[in-house]
């Protein structure tokens, strides 16, 4: 089967529409993952053993469970309990929740890297706990983990095709629908692969630049 350039031009708008939903799901899920991961990390350090251990087991369970069963649970099981969520929203929530358990470990590592002397200095100055976290610990910890967090953005983008399992018309689903209409899959699937490669490579270059920048500052 030879490449049909006219057909390629016709399907690009549909693929770009699918790419739009892929980007929306990835970015919105990433915001959830970054914010919720920070909450998990801070709760893991709370003096309350019940809270810290509960958070530990919850995050371990989510991280140890495949993404697709989580998508099915949020989209197909929750409605039976009276909570109906649209497919795109369910995909965003599940992506964010799933990856928040990974970003939590990133934050935890960054916080653990803060020299012990800084904690002791805060105690000696009798700083309120809120100031210790907001003014001293978190600015340093987050700065250290920015490149690693960037890697998880790329990972989320590459996992976004799993959203087709709950009928989100993301990039791969768009390619499948286009191919099904014309019975030609060469062009749409190839273009999808190229788009993923291009975005991933560009993102990887940006992440490496962040690593060099924060390694030297």
DSSP one-letter code for 164: G
Chain centroid to CA 161: how far?
Answer: 13
Percent of the chain with pLDDT over 70: 98
User: CB count, 10 Å around CB of 89?
Assistant: 14
Q: What is the pLDDT of residue 215?
A: 55
Residues 59, 65: contact at Cβ < 8 Å? no
User: Of 41, 72, 71, which Cα lies nearest the Cα of 137?
Assistant: 41
Q: What is the pLDDT of residue 74?
A: 95
Query: Which tokens is 31 given?
Result: 């915001």
pLDDT tens digits along 122-151? 878 787 877 888 888 888 888 888 888 988
């Amino acid at each position: 089967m030879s490449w049909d350039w006219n057909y390629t031009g016709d399907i690009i708008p549909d693929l770009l529409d699918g790419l739009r939903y892929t980007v929306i799901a990835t970015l919105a899920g990433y915001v959830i993952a970054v914010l919720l991961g920070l909450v998990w990390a801070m709760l893991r350090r709370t003096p309350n053993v019940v809270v810290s251990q509960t958070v530990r087991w919850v995050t371990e369970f989510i991280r140890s469970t495949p993404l697709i069963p989580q998508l099915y649970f949020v989209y197909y099981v929750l409605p039976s309990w009276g909570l109906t969520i649209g497919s795109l929203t369910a995909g965003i929530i599940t992506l964010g929740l799933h990856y928040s358990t990974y970003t939590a470990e990133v934050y935890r590592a960054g916080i653990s890297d803060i020299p012990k002397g800084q904690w002791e200095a805060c105690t000696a100055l009798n700083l309120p706990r809120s100031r210790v976290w907001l003014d001293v610990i978190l600015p340093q910890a987050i700065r250290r983990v920015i490149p690693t967090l960037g890697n998880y953005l790329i990972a989320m983008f590459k996992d976004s095709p799993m959203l087709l399992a709950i009928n989100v018309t993301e990039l791969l689903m768009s390619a499948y629908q286009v191919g099904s209409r014309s019975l030609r899959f060469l062009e749409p699937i190839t273009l999808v692969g190229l788009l993923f490669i291009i975005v991933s490579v560009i993102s990887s270059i940006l992440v490496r630049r962040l690593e060099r920048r924060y390694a030297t500052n």
